[in-house]
């Protein structure tokens, strides 16, 4: 336990310009991909039919795709589901056939090629439902960000509040960009993961900013950069322990949880890593870029907490 009690003396802020360039680059890549390629919305948002089928032996996805293509289903998405014997097939909606007829024909196509194939699950999502989910999911994300915006402006001074919001926007854009660049399925579970990342990132930033605010009151002879460096170092063990334990759980979900939650775990893994980075660099760097200095320290001192000056 002695290791965790020892305070580090890492000069984080000396690398803030490099961190800023890295963040700007990642944001540009993410926004560029979102603008040109968009998100690969899953069946929850686009509507369509999902079939889960089981094969007697390991299924070769290329052969399954070829079978579906011969049957006229070129737009089908095929992937393993849990094991190599289980396959999940996603079919976009058809203007000519109902979902039930479409699923029956797709399964018949697969069964003609492999008579032993078993139909285990069928799900239908109508285009109208998918459109409503897209709108409601987007609104949920916007309302969450709006509520957090109000909260941080009530809790912190203006420059620190802007830093908190910048870190949140940074994390959300990069997570969305990650899914856009790799064209991973973006479904309701991933949207839930993005909302969870917002909460995690905000909590991490608030913990660090609370310590910065306390040190602004105590360390009057230090400038803003020194106060921020000291604060981050004091909270570093807490930040790393929280992040590492969370990542261990997410790795277990990713490797052992099955295909259904792979993308959910992926979004959270990227979000936790980026959120930890942003709570150390993006939030504080943004506040410093806005001119956080001794004048802001004096404003905090007027609150009357711990008036004893320290070096």
Q: Binning pLDDT at 50, 70 and 90, where does residue 305 land? A: very low
Q: Which CATH architecture has domain 48-125?
A: 2-Layer Sandwich (3.30)
pLDDT at 296: 57
Give the global pTM. 0.78
Contact criterion met (CB below 8 Å) for 42 and 137: no
pLDDT at 237: 87
Per the model's pLDDT, the better-predicted residue between 135 and 40 turns out to be 40
Integer Cα distance of 146 and 166 in angstroms: 13
Question: Which percentage of the chain shows pLDDT scores above 90?
Answer: 20
Contact criterion met (CB below 8 Å) for 44 and 125: yes
Task: Say whether pLDDT at 134 is over 90.
Answer: no
Contact criterion met (CB below 8 Å) for 148 and 198: yes
| pLDDT tens per residue across span 90-106 | 887 777 777 788 888 88
pLDDT at 127: 60
pLDDT at 249: 92
**Among residues 79, 85, 81, 32, which one has the least CA distance to residue 58?**
85
Q: Show the DSSP H helices in the chain as ranges.
A: 2-5, 16-36, 43-46, 61-70, 99-113, 127-155, 158-182, 188-218, 224-256, 262-280, 282-289, 294-301
pLDDT at 32: 96
**Among residues 195, 212, 233, which one has the least CA distance to residue 159?**
212
Strand order in the sheet with 48-54: 77-81, 83-91, 48-54, 118-125
Integer Cα distance of 240 and 42 in angstroms: 33
Task: Say whether pLDDT at 75 is over 80.
Answer: no
| pLDDT tens per residue across span 20-73 | 999 999 999 999 999 999 988 877 777 778 888 999 888 888 888 888 888 888
Integer Cα distance of 167 and 288 in angstroms: 13
Q: Binning pLDDT at 50, 70 and 90, where does residue 129 land? A: low
Domain 2-40+130-301 has CATH 1.20.1640.10: yes
Integer Cα distance of 160 and 256 in angstroms: 40
| CB contact set of 161 (below 8 Å; sequence gap of 6+) | 152, 153, 155
| CB contact set of 100 (below 8 Å; sequence gap of 6+) | 124
| pLDDT tens per residue across span 157-213 | 778 888 888 898 999 999 999 999 998 888 888 988 998 898 888 888 888 888 888
pLDDT at 224: 81
pLDDT at 295: 61
Per the model's pLDDT, the better-predicted residue between 196 and 124 turns out to be 196
- Six-digit token pair at 222? 């230090």
Per-chain mean pLDDT for the chain: 82
Q: Show the DSSP H helices in 40-98 as ranges.
A: 43-46, 61-70
- Domain residue ranges of the chain, discontinuous segments joined by +: 2-40+130-301, 48-125
Reduced to 3 states, what is the DSSP secondary structure of residue 8?
coil
The top-scoring range by mean pLDDT among 93-97, 139-143, 243-247 is: 243-247
Q: Binning pLDDT at 50, 70 and 90, where does residue 244 land? A: very high
């Amino acid at each position: 336990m002695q290791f965790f009690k020892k305070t580090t003396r890492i000069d984080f802020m000396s690398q803030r310009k490099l961190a800023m360039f890295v963040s700007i680059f990642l944001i540009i890549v993410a926004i560029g991909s979102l603008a040109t390629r968009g998100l690969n919305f899953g069946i929850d948002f686009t509507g369509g039919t999902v079939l889960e089928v089981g094969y007697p032996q390991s299924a070769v996805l290329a052969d399954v795709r070829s079978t579906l293509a011969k049957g006229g289903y070129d737009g089908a998405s095929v992937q393993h589901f849990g094991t190599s014997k289980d396959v999940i097939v996603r079919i976009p909606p058809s203007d000519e056939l109902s979902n039930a007829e479409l699923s029956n024909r797709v399964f018949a196509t697969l069964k003609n090629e492999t008579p032993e194939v078993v139909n285990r699950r069928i799900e239908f999502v109508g285009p109208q439902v998918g459109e409503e989910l897209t709108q409601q999911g987007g609104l949920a994300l916007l309302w969450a960000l709006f509520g957090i915006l109000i909260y941080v402006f009530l809790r912190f001074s203006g420059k620190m509040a802007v830093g908190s919001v910048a870190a949140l926007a940074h994390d959300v854009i990069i997570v969305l960009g990650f899914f856009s660049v790799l064209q991973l399925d973006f479904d309701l579970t991933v949207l839930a993961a993005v909302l969870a990342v917002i909460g995690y990132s905000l909590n991490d930033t608030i913990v660090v900013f609370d310590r910065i605010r306390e040190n602004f009151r105590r360390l009057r002879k230090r400038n803003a950069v020194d106060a921020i460096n000291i604060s981050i170092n004091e909270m570093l063990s807490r930040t790393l322990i929280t992040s590492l334990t969370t990542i261990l759980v997410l790795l277990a979900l990713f490797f052992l949880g099955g295909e259904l939650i792979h993308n959910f775990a992926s979004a959270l893994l990227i979000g936790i890593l980026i959120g930890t980075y942003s709570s150390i660099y993006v939030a504080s760097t943004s506040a410093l870029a806005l001119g956080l200095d001794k004048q802001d320290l004096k404003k905090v001192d007027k609150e009357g907490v711990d008036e004893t000056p320290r070096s």
